[in-house]
Amino acid sequence: MTASSRTLGDWLSEFEREAFRLETLDDYSQSGGMDAYHAFLAGAEQPEDFRTSGWVTTVGAAARAGKRMYRVHILSRPLTDYLRFELGWGYQRNMAAGEEFFILDTTEQDNPVPGAPDFWLFDDATAAEMSYDGNGKYLGSEFHTGGRIAEFKAYRDVAMANAVPFADWWAEHGE
């Protein structure tokens, strides 16, 4: 399979060393996991299919293979309902499977990567720039290689340099 024929799902299971994600939105609720989100809002238990989702399997397989999956979420407080769900349920679940999380909190500082898109960066060689509508519904990805990779690596490096480990941030600001 060539790099250009791979889907985002292919890249997420076939990268060789590391996959980095930059999240910039406050709401991804229209992109899946609606039942779990509604359960969270209702104060119910986590649905079984949320706890054992395919994403947990993907992350766990990567971690067992010695691959790194990590992300930075750019956000500001107060948290939206969706961010409370994503951080309180999703990040906790995914950390247990082996994913690493960092928070770049812009509540009291300027965003050091203004205009950065949501993206995945695979092995410092391929970026999947994510597109969403105004309601957080995933519309697709545009893949980049070659000259554009330096741009995505710079976004990652600046975001990581200004982010704190999720566990530390959550201990201070979590709900």
Nearest to 15 by CA among 170, 173, 124: 124
Range of the domain at 167: 20-173
Average pLDDT for 37-64: 92
Residue 10 belongs to some domain of the structure: no
Residue 82 belongs to some domain of the structure: yes
φ/ψ of residue 137, rounded to 5: -90, 125
Average pLDDT for 124-136: 94
Residue 13 belongs to some domain of the structure: no
Extract the tokens encoding 154: 């710079």
- When divided into structural domains, the chain yields a total of 1
What is Dmax (Cα atoms) for the chain?
Answer: 47
Residue 88 belongs to some domain of the structure: yes
Residue 139 belongs to some domain of the structure: yes
pLDDT tens per residue, range 54-102: 899 999 999 999 999 999 999 999 999 999 999 999 999 999 999 999 9
**How many Å from the N-terminal Cα to the C-terminal Cα in the chain?**
44
Residue 4 belongs to some domain of the structure: no
pLDDT band at 4 (very low <50, low <70, confident <90, very high): low
Residue 9 belongs to some domain of the structure: no
Residue 35 belongs to some domain of the structure: yes
Q: What CA–CA distance (Å, rounded) separates 73 from 165?
A: 11
pLDDT tens per residue, range 158-168: 999 999 999 99
Q: What CA–CA distance (Å, rounded) separates 83 from 78?
A: 9
pTM: predicted TM-score of the whole model, two decimal places: 0.93
